[in-house]
């Protein structure tokens, strides 16, 4: 007759058998009954069409889980069977979980991307514009990586006037995401014009810190315009989507952030040439205007009018002689009569012309600059305007000006003669 054993003994034997037999198993199934516990543990079940098994992943392993478990999601579990002897329950203790059919990192990327897109992190309307001529740029990157040297080299040739502030940052490995987030927040308080966050190329695991939500939050909350420059051109990370500007590489970030000094030099040369050509055109036009004015002045000068009068006199003299000659051939009486008439007319016209000539000469001499300086004659100006005595009042401040002197006077007495 067999001796009965206790329930505890049976459960202990089952526990020993299961846990030594199923040391490491790979199970594929669909997630159900999912619970994220406050302790950090994850409790759920996996099932297929016919069966279900309880699962648990303790907090020590959940930190390595890159994606979020969801109901109905197909997963592949690496773990071992464990038995909870007091209740006689067995469950699958999960050490590693991968999504079925795709990588964990790819799924985690898509999950976070979808979450942040719903929160408006990728909205182009809120992205900040980079300043055209930045004076100070904060670099959130590794102090020993090749990225910092590449950025310095590009900046030296592109725009050496810029000042860099390096914030040494852990860019891969454990704690990198939190270090990047902290560095971004620190840089945002430095009153820089631009923040560049980045590193050189690497595997997706090396770059994964830039796909973490804590980094995305720091980038989104930054008040300073921020450029994400992580990896190579083919790498597209969450930080690229959230940032104000995405650069293909760290060197490309400097090219985007800084103007090209050689382009500005050529631009200044073109402006200088345009200015010189404009001055030449203005001077040429003014020379043409002066030439035209000289011609007009010469045509309307006193000398020109005097020559015209002399020509008129010569013409009249010639006409007189011709007419006189014709009249001589006629009768002497008619000749005398015409001669007297012509002589009178000629004398009057000569007197008139001579009077005009004298008047023109007198005006010419009076307005000649060398003749203005006459004793007893001055020009009266009030408030820088030429005026006359009848426009003045007692107390007015006036200037008496001759070609050589200016006297400032106050009117004390004014009366009509």
**Each residue's pLDDT tens digit, 138-175:** 999 999 888 898 999 999 999 999 999 999 999 998 88
Taking the C-alpha atoms of residue 140 and residue 168, their distance in angstroms, rounded to an integer, is 7
Beta pairing class for 406-410 and 397-401: antiparallel
Q: What is the DSSP letter of 386?
A: E
Residue 152: closest CA among 143, 164, 140, 161:
164
Instruction: Supply the pLDDT for residue 176.
Output: 93
Residue-level pLDDT at 360: 77
Q: Give the integer Cα–Cα distance in Å for 388 and 103.
A: 102
Helix (H, G, I), strand (E, B) or coil at 154: helix
Q: How far apart are CA 51 and CA 29, in angstroms?
A: 10
Collapsed DSSP state (helix, strand, coil) of residue 166: strand
Edge-to-edge order in the sheet of strand 194-199: 163-168, 136-141, 194-199, 225-230, 245-246
The reported pLDDT for the residue numbered 368 is 57
49: tokens are: 């069409």
Q: How confident is the prediction along the chain (417 residues), in pLDDT tens digits per residue?
A: 468 888 888 878 787 788 778 888 888 888 888 999 888 899 999 988 888 899 999 988 888 787 888 888 888 888 988 888 888 888 999 988 888 766 667 777 888 888 899 999 999 999 999 999 999 999 999 998 888 989 999 999 999 999 999 999 999 988 899 999 999 999 999 999 999 999 988 887 888 899 999 999 999 999 999 999 998 877 789 999 999 999 989 999 999 999 999 888 888 888 988 999 999 999 999 889 888 888 888 777 677 667 777 777 777 777 777 766 666 566 667 667 777 787 787 778 778 888 888 777 777 666 655 555 566 778 888 888 888 888 888 888 888 887 778 888 988 888 876
Closest CA to 44 of 27, 66, 63: 27
Distance CA 379, CA 183 (A): 79
Q: Which residues partner with 99 through β-bridges?
A: 75
Alpha carbons 353 and 310: distance in angstroms, whole number = 9
Tell which CATH classification among 3.40.190.10, 2.40.50.140, 3.40.430.10, 3.30.1330.200 matches the domain 7-101.
2.40.50.140
| Nearest to 80, CA basis, from 58, 102, 49 | 58
pLDDT (0 to 100) of residue 102: 60
pLDDT in the model for residue 109: 82
Q: Dihedral sign for Cα 199, 205, 41, 48, please.
A: positive
In the block, which residue shows the tokens 């310095």?
152
**Pairwise CA distance, residues 88 & 11, whole Å:** 6
pLDDT at 31: 87
Distance between CA 357 and CA 305 in Å, rounded?
A: 9
Domain 110-259 has CATH 3.40.50.10550: yes
CB 251 within 8 A of CB 151: yes
């Amino acid at each position: 007759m067999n001796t009965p054993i206790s329930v505890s003994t049976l459960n202990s034997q089952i526990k020993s058998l299961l846990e030594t037999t199923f040391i490491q198993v790979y199970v594929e199934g669909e997630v159900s009954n999912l619970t994220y516990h406050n302790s950090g543990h994850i409790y759920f079940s996996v099932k297929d069409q016919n069966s279900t098994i309880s699962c648990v992943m303790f907090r020590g392993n959940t930190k390595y889980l890159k994606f979020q478990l969801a109901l109905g999601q197909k997963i592949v579990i690496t773990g071992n069977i464990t038995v909870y002897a007091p209740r006689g329950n067995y469950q699958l203790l999960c050490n590693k979980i991968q999504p079925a059919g795709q990588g964990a990192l790819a799924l985690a990327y898509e999950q976070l991307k979808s979450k942040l897109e719903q929160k408006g992190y990728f909205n182009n309307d809120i992205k900040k514009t980079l300043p055209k001529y930045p004076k100070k740029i904060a670099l959130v990157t590794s102090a020993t990586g090749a990225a910092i040297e590449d950025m310095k080299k590009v900046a030296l040739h592109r725009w050496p006037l810029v000042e860099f502030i390096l914030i040494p940052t852990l860019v891969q490995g454990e704690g990198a995401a939190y270090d990047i987030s902290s560095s971004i927040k620190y840089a945002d308080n430095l009153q820089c014009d631009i923040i560049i966050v980045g590193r050189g190329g690497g595997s997706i695991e090396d770059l994964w810190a830039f796909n973490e939500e804590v980094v995305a939050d720091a980038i989104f909350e930054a008040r300073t315009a921020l450029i994400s420059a992580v990896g190579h051109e083919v790498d597209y990370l969450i930080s690229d989507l959230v940032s104000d500007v995405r650069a293909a590489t760290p060197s490309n970030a400097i090219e985007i952030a800084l103007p090209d000094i050689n382009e500005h030099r050529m631009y200044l040369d073109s402006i200088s040439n345009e200015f010189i050509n404009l001055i030449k055109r203005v001077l040429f036009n003014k020379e043409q205007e002066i030439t035209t004015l000289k011609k007009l002045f010469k045509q309307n000068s006193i000398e020109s009018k005097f020559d015209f009068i002399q020509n008129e006199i010569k013409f009249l003299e010639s006409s007189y002689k011709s007419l006189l000659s014709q009249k001589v051939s006629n009768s002497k009486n008619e000749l005398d009569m015409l001669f007297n008439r012509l002589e009178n007319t000629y004398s009057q016209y000569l007197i008139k012309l001579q009077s005009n000539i004298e008047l023109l000469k007198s005006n010419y001499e009076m307005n000649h600059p060398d003749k203005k300086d006459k004793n007893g004659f001055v020009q009266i100006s009030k408030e820088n305007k030429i005026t006359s005595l009848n426009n003045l009042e007692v107390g007015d401040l006036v200037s008496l000006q001759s070609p050589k002197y200016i006297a400032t006077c106050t009117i004390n007495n004014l009366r009509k003669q």
